[in-house]
């Protein structure tokens, strides 16, 4: 057997398991969801009851879908607006030469990332519990409140708590991205600028931040897309309550597809998923254009 052919077979052998799993659990379900969206189907039997665009129309006319859609956008915007710049600030501090214990801080911030999201949600449900919750017990002991606060059961605080926990949960990953970007910057530029008498603030403003624009665009894209698909955190913390104030589109789809009262509505849930997928795709394309534009600026600036 020819060496090149043998090498290609070995490559195929290593790729095949992952490729098979991708086809079975990602590609095939995605394609079939577009098919199910045009049928009234409960998950059993054959596809006989063709619904046309009825499922899409019902989704677009459902106020609960738009409520979940608004909450998903709010979660995404709040997480990106707070987490991304805060992670950049922390990355700049962790890259500073005067800071000691960098490994400890990096591990501390990254620990929530490797913790299962469902476990984090259950723990936070205990922390913010109305009765015997850790936060309420601490505040009562310090005399800061007189009666326990129902943090996750109040329409005024539930969404804020979910957003804050979401920021904390994935903060370490954005921190790693920023650190990788900062440490990949050419050191020669900074050394030349210091020789010319540039101050630390000038180095940050005129070198570090402009050079980080392409990296920041990618981080923005990843953060936005991931935030639009929050499910297990909300499911374990509030299950969409109170009064659907923390309901998300992924949870909305799940509720109709698997855990709704009565007969499952796979077709309707698929239609909602297709519509939401189109929106996420459009957002991804727009942010992708931003990444391309920022990369072009960097290239033209380097030239």
Q: What angle do CA 260, 263, 267 make, to 5 degrees?
A: 85
Residue 238 belongs to domain with CATH number: 1.10.3720.10
Does 10 reside within a domain?
no
Q: How many domains does the chain have?
A: 1
pTM of the model: 0.89
Residue 22 falls inside a structural domain: no
The residue segments making up the domain with residue 284 are 48-302
Closest C-alpha to 169, from 216, 215, 217, 236: 236
Residue 90 lies in a domain: yes
| pLDDT score, position 302 | 46
Does 25 map to a domain? no
In a domain, 17, yes or no: no
159 lies in some domain: yes
88 in a structural domain: yes
Q: What is the pLDDT of residues 128-140, one digit of tens each?
A: 988 888 999 999 9
The pLDDT tens digits for 198-225 are 898 999 998 999 999 888 988 998 999 9
Residue 19 is assigned to a structural domain of this protein: no
Full 3-state SS string of 185-211: CCHHHHHHHHHCCCCHHHHHHHHHHHH
Q: How confident is the model at residue 102 (pLDDT cuts 50, 70, 90)?
A: confident
pLDDT number for residue 12:
87
């Amino acid at each position: 057997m020819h060496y090149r052919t043998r090498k290609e077979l070995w490559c195929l052998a290593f790729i095949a398991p992952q490729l098979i799993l991708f086809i079975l659990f990602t590609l095939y379900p995605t394609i079939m969801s577009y098919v199910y969206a045009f049928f009234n189907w409960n998950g059993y039997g054959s596809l006989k009851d063709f619904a046309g665009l009825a499922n899409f129309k019902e989704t677009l006319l459902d106020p609960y879908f738009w409520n979940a859609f608004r909450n998903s956008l709010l979660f995404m915007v709040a997480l990106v607006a707070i987490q991304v710049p805060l992670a950049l600030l922390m990355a700049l501090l962790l890259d500073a030469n005067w800071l000691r214990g960098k490994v400890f801080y990096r591990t501390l911030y990254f620990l929530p990332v490797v913790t299962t999201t469902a476990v984090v949600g259950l723990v936070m449900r205990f922390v913010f519990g109305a009765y015997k919750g850790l936060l309420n017990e601490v505040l009562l002991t310090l005399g800061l409140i007189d009666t326990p606060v129902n943090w996750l059961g109040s329409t005024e605080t539930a969404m804020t708590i979910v957003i804050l926990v979401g920021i904390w949960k994935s903060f370490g990953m954005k921190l790693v991205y920023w650190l990788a970007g900062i440490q990949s910057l050419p050191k020669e530029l900074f050394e030349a600028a210091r020789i010319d008498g540039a101050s630390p603030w000038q180095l940050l403003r005129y070198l570090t931040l402009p050079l980080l624009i392409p990296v920041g665009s990618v981080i923005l894209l990843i953060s936005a897309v991931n935030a639009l698909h929050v499910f297990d955190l909300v499911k374990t913390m509030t299950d969409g309550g109170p009064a659907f104030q923390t309901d998300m589109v992924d949870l909305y789809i799940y509720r109709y597809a698997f855990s709704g009262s009565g007969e499952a509505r796979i077709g309707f849930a698929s239609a909602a998923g297709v519509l939401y997928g189109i929106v996420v795709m459009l957002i991804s394309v727009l942010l992708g254009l931003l990444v391309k534009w920022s990369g072009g600026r960097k290239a033209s600036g380097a030239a």
